[in-house]
Structure 1
Amino acid sequence: MTADRFAFTIAATDGAARTGSIAMRRGTIRTPAFMPVGTAATVKAMKPADVAAAGADIILGNTYHLMLRPGAERVARLGGLHDFMGWSKPILTDSGGYQVMSLADLTKRSEAGVSFKSHLDGSRHLLSPERSIEIQRLLDSDIVMAFDELVPTTSTRDVRAAAMERSMRWARRSRDAFDGGGEHPTRTAIFGIQQGALDEDLRRSSADALIEIGFDGYAVGGLAVGEGQEAMFACLDFAPGQLPADKPRYLMGVGKPDDIVGAVERGIDMFDCVMPTRSGRTGQAFTRTGPINIRNAKFAEDQIPLDPACDCPVCSTWTRAYLHHLVRAGEMLGAMLMTEHNVWFYEALMADLRHAIAAQALSSFANMFRERYRGTKE
């Protein structure tokens, strides 16, 4: 099923968890969904066809990185991000707000936006809500994110409140810029981002403001920034419920497999994280019994797959011993195969979660997953 623009359907629920689909013109996204991160127009170490074969219905691109290199205007001249990178399914683009505040040098925040110095060449830029939306339109993103301001959860209450309130003003400007974008709004969707750190009342005020503006979906922002799983789950015990039940809920930048399971139990529908690809490039593989470091000497003659329960192309073909050799030798193929396995693992986890919700068996699945996953960690 496809839709001209955006249609979210909930097929089944189990407690706070939901499973369903988002129909868009470039394809249908099964939820709960994990979006592999293609920051700079590539999911690192993987070809687009292999990302799709792993089960991904959508990937994430990033405004900050693409505006600096190769440039949004250039991508537009070359036919848009999908044609440029060879990915035909939906793409969600991050607004760039997180990266501009964590990677760029000499940032200066004001009501206009964020002025910053590029981490690549030192050039000066201003990223505002209007410019962020313009870049995402030039990229021809399918799901556009509103521009927001992120501050650490350890900031003072006044700082957290001020950042949330500014983010809501920027959300209105993002929505207005999106609606004024010619044909683009008729083919795409825009999500607002709830802020407020770990404060329930700030999150409520943020949600109310976003609902008044009106968005196609709503993200829970400002988490997975060092607060720890317990604090994150405590926030997710109330934050998703403050957002509309008939719209997708997206937890940005999460995360570890057990983070995802816990967040799905609390009503989250969409996720993204660099963890499966970054871990693959550094020799870490995710398995049903927990992550393993393939560099460890004990794997040098281990002739079983990375995960005997996995049916990905890597586990169906190669042994831990071979992958240990590739990674220790610094061979490019090692990073490619480890990454491919990890992305398959994440997408298989999402498929299992969807099935468990539909079967009204999420609690037993989640408990079994946690018991098994935490049993062996290296």
Structure 2
Amino acid sequence: MTFDLVAQDPQTKARAGVVHTAHGSIQTPIFMPVGTAGSVKAVHQRELKEDIKAQIILGNTYHLYLRPGLDVLRQAGGLHKFNGWDRPILTDSGGYQVYSLSKTRKIKEEGVKFRSHIDGSEHLFSPEGVMDIQRVIGADIIMAFDECTPWPCEYSYASRSLDMTHRWLQRCIARFDSTEGLYGYQQTLFPIVQGSTFKDLRVRSAEFIAAQGREGNAIGGLSVGEPAELMYEMTEIVCDILPQDKPRYLMGVGTPANILENIALGVDMFDCVLPTRNARNGMLFTTQGIINIKNKKWADDFSPVDAELGGYASTFYSKAYLRHLFQASEYLAGMIASVHNLTFYLWLVGEARQQILAGTFREWKERMVKQVMVRL
């Protein structure tokens, strides 16, 4: 994997670049739709390409390991062949499940012992094992195994966790560098900066991660409940340390406003379940603001969901019809809303890129942050 830094906004730290992978190039800044189990919920691959214009999607190591399992993925020739997505894929290492499944796991130096949320069976995820699993999945970009600490947490816990995450990273690198991809193309390993919301820990972690010299770097442990101002503060600290010539990925973030503010701080890559999860509950992100499509006010509004956005789902269906589908509990409601929200997210980062290239990002960002937060 290589990264070309194409432009830097003159008034902020926002960047435009291109990430080159074995399955194609990615124009940054970019939002990556989350396909936890190898599928972006309620969205066809054709829609991801043609309507949403997704350039890269995510899979999750923990969930794919459990279902469909490594044997099936290996026989299929990796996740790209299994799900038919021929563009880049990134896989999370399962480190987030260390945080989200805290009631069913035990953390030791060796790794993390999980109880499956499916059948209660016990599994050990070690740094070496996670590298091997992601080799079988075959993602273009794979993540190091880390602990995502909760917020708030004690300084002493965050410090001990950070030291272990760094030790785990060294084991990940050793295993990754001593193995080869299984399907005839190169994969790339991203380390993850941790340290909760403690400035000195974030500095220590960012310096350690930068020293590893990998092709890209990630920022984890944010968007776990902390105030947005703390997220931005930690992100800025880390981005000022991580190499300028490598892509920066802020994991699990976030709202449209979060994305715009973090682009301004120097982040290149984002993912979040928010657009599809909220879509299934009737919340739509539009170029004019946020809509709860279930509200009665939309019952006789026959205008398109978002005429300015473009895209089939956003312009073909009316607000009234989409509200009707939700009221009738039709599956199509979540499908239309999911395609629309992802179309909006990809439009947002694409427009941000154009503003960076034009040198007009700051003014546009400040206007757009206010606009996307309006409740219609």
**Length-normalised TM-score, structure 1:** 0.96
Please point out which of 131, 138, 150 is paired with 2:129: 131
- C-alpha distance in structure 2 between counterparts of 1:350 and 1:164, whole Å: 31
- C-alpha distance in structure 2 between counterparts of 1:84 and 1:269, whole Å: 28
Please point out which of 21, 24, 27 is paired with 2:21: 24
- What's the offset of the Cα at 1:105? 4.2
Range with bigger deviation, 296-305 or 178-187: 178-187
Per-residue displacement from partner, 1:311-357 (whole Å, max 9, x unpaired)? 11012211000000011111111111010000100000011000000
- C-alpha distance in structure 2 between counterparts of 1:207 and 1:315, whole Å: 40
Equivalences for residues 84-163 of structure 1 within 5 A: 84-103=82-101, 105-163=103-161
- What's the offset of the Cα at 1:305? 1.4
- 1:95·1:145 contact (CA, 8 Å) conserved in 2? yes
Per-residue displacement from partner, 1:23-56 (whole Å, max 9, x unpaired)? 1111001100100000001000001121122121
Task: Name the CA shift for 1:298/1:155 in 2 (closer, same or farther; >3 Å).
Answer: same
Range with bigger deviation, 76-85 or 233-242: 233-242
- C-alpha distance in structure 1 between counterparts of 2:370 and 2:199, whole Å: 30
Letter in 2 for 1:252: M
SS of the residue 2:225 aligns to = coil
- What's the offset of the Cα at 1:101? 3.1
Letter in 2 for 1:307: D
SS of the residue 1:314 aligns to = helix
- C-alpha distance in structure 1 between counterparts of 2:260 and 2:99, whole Å: 29
- C-alpha distance in structure 2 between counterparts of 1:260 and 1:71, whole Å: 33
Range with bigger deviation, 304-313 or 188-197: 304-313
SS of the residue 2:244 aligns to = coil
- What's the offset of the Cα at 1:186? 6.2
- C-alpha distance in structure 1 between counterparts of 2:341 and 2:110, whole Å: 40
- What's the offset of the Cα at 1:116? 1.3
- What's the offset of the Cα at 1:214? 2.5
Range with bigger deviation, 203-212 or 37-46: 203-212
The answer for the alignment partner of 1:274 in structure 2 is 273
The answer for the alignment partner of 1:330 in structure 2 is 329
- 2:255·2:274 contact (CA, 8 Å) conserved in 1? yes
- What's the offset of the Cα at 1:176? 1.0
SS of the residue 1:93 aligns to = strand
The answer for the alignment partner of 2:68 in structure 1 is 70
The answer for the alignment partner of 2:47 in structure 1 is 50
SS of the residue 1:126 aligns to = strand
Task: Name the CA shift for 1:30/1:324 in 2 (closer, same or farther; >3 Å).
Answer: same
- What's the offset of the Cα at 1:308? 2.7
- 1:146·1:171 contact (CA, 8 Å) conserved in 2? yes
- 2:299·2:320 contact (CA, 8 Å) conserved in 1? yes
Letter in 1 for 2:334: A
- 1:207·1:243 contact (CA, 8 Å) conserved in 2? yes
- What's the offset of the Cα at 1:373? 2.1
The answer for the alignment partner of 1:198 in structure 2 is 197
SS of the residue 1:238 aligns to = helix
- C-alpha distance in structure 1 between counterparts of 2:220 and 2:96, whole Å: 10
SS of the residue 1:292 aligns to = strand
- C-alpha distance in structure 1 between counterparts of 2:174 and 2:185, whole Å: 14
The answer for the alignment partner of 1:258 in structure 2 is 257
Per-residue displacement from partner, 1:52-89 (whole Å, max 9, x unpaired)? 22121100000011111111232111121011111000
Range with bigger deviation, 91-100 or 253-262: 91-100
- C-alpha distance in structure 2 between counterparts of 1:188 and 1:79, whole Å: 14
- C-alpha distance in structure 1 between counterparts of 2:228 and 2:308, whole Å: 27
The answer for the alignment partner of 2:58 in structure 1 is 60
Per-residue displacement from partner, 1:84-136 (whole Å, max 9, x unpaired)? 11100010000001114313643111000001111110000001111111111
- 2:284·2:293 contact (CA, 8 Å) conserved in 1? yes
- 1:280·1:342 contact (CA, 8 Å) conserved in 2? yes
The answer for the alignment partner of 2:4 in structure 1 is 9
Q: Relative contact order: is structure 1 or structure 2 higher (C-alpha 8 Å, sep ≥ 6)?
A: 2
Per-residue displacement from partner, 1:240-295 (whole Å, max 9, x unpaired)? 11111110000000000000000000000000000111111111110123221111
SS of the residue 1:316 aligns to = helix
- C-alpha distance in structure 2 between counterparts of 1:372 and 1:350, whole Å: 15
- 2:33·2:57 contact (CA, 8 Å) conserved in 1? yes
Range with bigger deviation, 179-188 or 92-101: 179-188
- C-alpha distance in structure 2 between counterparts of 1:310 and 1:59, whole Å: 21
Q: Percent identity?
A: 43
Letter in 1 for 2:64: L
- C-alpha distance in structure 2 between counterparts of 1:315 and 1:149, whole Å: 39
Range with bigger deviation, 57-66 or 178-187: 178-187
Instruction: Identify unmatched segments of 5+ residues in structure 1.
Output: 1-5
